[in-house]
Amino acid sequence: MDLLYEIWGSVMRNKMRTLATGIAVASGLFLLIVLQGAGNGIIHTFDRNRGGFSFDAIHVWGGWTSRAYDGMERGRRIVLDNRAEDMVNLRFPAETKGVTSIISQSGLTVSYGTEYLASVELEGIHPRYADMASLKIVRGRMIHDLDVAERRKVILLSEKREKELSPRGKSLLNEYLLLDGKYFLVVGLYEDDQMSSQTTLYTPYTTVQTLYGRGTAIDELMISGKGLDTEQKNELFETRLRQGLGKIHTFHPEDQSAVWIWNQARDNEQMNRASSILQISLWILGMLTLISGVVGVSNIMLISVKERTREFGIRKALGATPWNIIRMIIFESIVITGTFGYVGMFAGVAFCSYMDASVGNRTLDIGVDKLQYFVDPTVDISTCLWATLVMIVSGAVAGFFPAHKASSVKPIEALRA
């Protein structure tokens, strides 16, 4: 407190100079925060546009064999079926959090009264799909195990399509929709993601298998991995998964084209890497700007120390130790950097909020769909805390050399000056 009072006097003596330096620091921090905010906007947009899939999902589709195996020719079509799900549950309990079979029928028409939608896809899913694909039920319920077991004709409809089918705003929950000549009960409404332009209705996969004569076939197996945090583990899991499927569906365990495996976790890792590179480079840019501000502070402090040589001489003659002097200069530097740094930080945060309010929710209309291109361009509290730490450290660094110079002043020389 006392020290602050001491500093106040010397800071106020050179208002203009302090202000000029302060602006350098403030603009450095302002840029740091705004760059971070903009970077976050881009990263959030990546995340948002990546859609509803959980990031660690592994998708498997049937393909065509590329090798002759077990007396069978190459070029054979492999169709996955219900056994695949059981196999994964049995063989990989440690590596998986969940697995769901997906089977879909597309090109359907759905109608309610006189309203209808064409090119509708009916996607047969398992109840676990909700968690794995982050499907959010807004009203009603998710498909449950009994629906699957009894092959019920129940569907989930998106809120957007509800409005299209019921333009007057009547709720379609617990209403029957006519889908491809069959009536389905709407048991739940799910939240649209921004990305999909297709109309997707969800129903138990067993229902699709039965209604469309698909037997036990499935189109896709979706697996959510557990503890697959390295490239190596992912690769091993994929190899073993392929072997397991090969046993059921009789294809060569190393046949790369018999089943197609898309591991989102690996994609995700690359995406994360790209995000963090972006974030780091923005930090570096911001820091460089900040450094120029800090160098300015250091310069000003050096000049100020030179001017105040006599003052330090007097202080020393009156009993100031070198440490007293060093502490005073470093504190002064931290106070200047900190005060103006916070001004810059607040301006930056305010600007980010402005960006968020003005372009943050703007969408890019690409005809069939809308794309958000700048989501939530703001910084979080940890960035601000980091920036504070950076300011204190840089203030101390900026003050160090001037302080050292000041403390080495010999009182007699200073007094003679």
The residue ranges that bind other proteins (CB under 8 A) are: 2, 5-6, 9-10, 12-13, 310-311, 313-324, 410-412, 415
Nearer to other proteins (CB atom), residue 9 or residue 213: 9
**329, 305 in Cβ contact below 8 A?**
yes
SS (H, E, C) 15-69: HHHHHHHHHHHHHHHHHHHHHHHHHHHHHHHHHHHCCCCCCCEEEEEECECCCCE
Closest CB 1 distance from other proteins, rounded Å: 8
- DSSP code per residue over 149-205: HTT--EEEEEHHHHHHH-TT----TT-EEEETTEEEEEEEEEPPPSS--SEEEEEEH
The burial of 365, by beta-carbon neighbours within 10 Å (0-12 exposed, 13-18 middle, 19 or more buried), is given as: exposed
Supply 290's token pair: 């900040």
Closest CB 407 distance from other proteins, rounded Å: 8
Closest CB 414 distance from other proteins, rounded Å: 9
Closest CB 406 distance from other proteins, rounded Å: 13
**Helix (H/G/I), strand (E/B), else coil: 77:** strand
Closest CB 281 distance from other proteins, rounded Å: 44
Closest CB 16 distance from other proteins, rounded Å: 15
**Sequence-distant (≥ 6) Cβ neighbours of residue 146 within 8 angstroms:** 152
Nearer to other proteins (CB atom), residue 174 or residue 321: 321
Handedness of CA 350, 352, 357, 358 (dihedral sign): positive
Say how far apart CA 337 and CA 286 lie, in whole Å.
15
Nearer to other proteins (CB atom), residue 1 or residue 94: 1
Handedness of CA 199, 205, 208, 211 (dihedral sign): negative
Nearer to other proteins (CB atom), residue 211 or residue 409: 409
Nearer to other proteins (CB atom), residue 98 or residue 313: 313
Nearer to other proteins (CB atom), residue 303 or residue 385: 303
